[in-house]
Each structure stands twice: as C-alpha cells, then as structure tokens.
Amino acid sequence: MRTDRILTFLEEIRDNNNRPYFQQHKQDYERAKADFEEITSYLIAELRAADPTLEPMTAKDCTYRFYRDTRFSEDKSPYKRHFGAFIAPHGARRSLLSGYYVHIQPGGSMIATGVYCPEKGMLKKVRDIITNFYDEWTSVAENKELLQTFGKVTCMNKLKRVPLGYPADCEGIEYLKMKDFMVCKNYTDKEAGNNEQFVEQLLTDLKTSIPWNTYLNRIMTD
C-alpha cells in the first residue's frame, strides 16, 4: 500500500489544478486513486472485523469523487486536493450515522470518527442523553484511551447559546451547543508518506474510536 504515491500526485495537482495538466497525467491519477481504494478496502475489512455494525461495503461505496462541483463556488479549480473516504453503517459515504472518515492530503492528512450535521431528530436524541445521562456520556466521550489518541470531542458547527428547551445550568453545556460530534487526529506528511506503517497506524487509531462510534449510533438509532 503506497501512501507516498498518493501524496506525490496530490502535491502535483495542488500546484497544477487544471484540466490540461490532469489529462496529461491521468495515469498518475488512476494509480493514486487505486492506491487509495486499496487502503480503503483494507480498512473496511479490518474495521468490519472489529465493528459488527458495519455492513459489507466496497471502497467505491465509501470514497468521494475527486472532481469538484464548481457551480456555486468562487474557486473554479476542477479537482480536489485530497482523497477522502467515509466508512459508516447504512449507506457508507451517504450514511446519516456516525462513521470513520479518512483524509489524505499534503499538509492536511487526518482521520475523524463521529457524525457531521446529524438530522434534527438524531441531534435531539444526542442532546437528551447529554442532559439526562451526562455521566454515561462522559464515560465514553472522555474515555482515557480516546482522549490520548484524539483529544477532546470537537465540532464544525456550534451554537453560541444553549439550544432552546435545554437547561442553561446543565453540566454538559458545551456539548449541548455542538451541532455535530467528532474526534479527530492529524498526521504530518512524513507520517502520511510512510506507506504500510501509516496505514497500520490509521487502523490502530480508528479502532480506538470504535466504542465512541458505536455509542453515538446506538443513541441516534434507539
């Protein structure tokens, strides 16, 4: 499994993000894409062995398109600068549930486990657990092993105030303000270019987040 070739291609497309260059180097893209799908397939198989909530799925089910939709963007660059995959139950990359995200990009390789912008009913279920079963929530969200690997639960979207209908004096006030729930870990280019050793590190780190992922999905589907 070659992560170094993925990074090399992405560095080149970062600096030459145009169709003529891409067409001239289409073979490099196909090779990098195949490398990323091989890594994704391996992670799917290994995670499914440890996480029984994951159904059978393929790398193509999980990986995102490399071509950008530029219709509503000021940035008209036709190609992304990363490869990404979301391994999750009930739809893989289209899933509404919590799952495992893998992102390889020069200067920005990372993984994340959790749910991004859950639908309204699912978000309410999580907030109700935080309010009524805060000790249970922290026993998972602030588990020592999870914190050591990923750090604190974070979010991309957060309210300035406690959402309507929830107590302002709740112990979990900062969690209640969150509109999504994730744990994330970043990697240097040196780490990310280390081929099989890096893939094994991804797997080890993602496995650490299985209890967190399972707990979130249990809440949202209960």
Question: What are the per-10-residue average pLDDT scores of the chain (222 residues)?
Answer: 96 97 97 98 97 95 95 92 97 96 98 96 97 97 98 96 92 96 98 97 98 98 92
Please tell me the predicted confidence (pLDDT) of residue 72: 87
* Tokens representing residue 108 in the block: 């920005």
Please tell me the predicted confidence (pLDDT) of residue 105: 98
What is the domain class of 3-221 according to CATH? alpha beta
Alpha carbon separation from 75 to 43, 71, 124 (Å, rounded):
32, 9, 35
| CA dist., res. 21 & res. 50, Å (int) | 42
Query: Which amino acid, one-letter code, is at 148?
Result: Q
| CA dist., res. 90 & res. 173, Å (int) | 30
DSSP-based three-state secondary structure for 100: strand
Please tell me the predicted confidence (pLDDT) of residue 37: 98
User: What predicted TM-score, i.e. pTM, was given to this entire model?
Assistant: 0.96
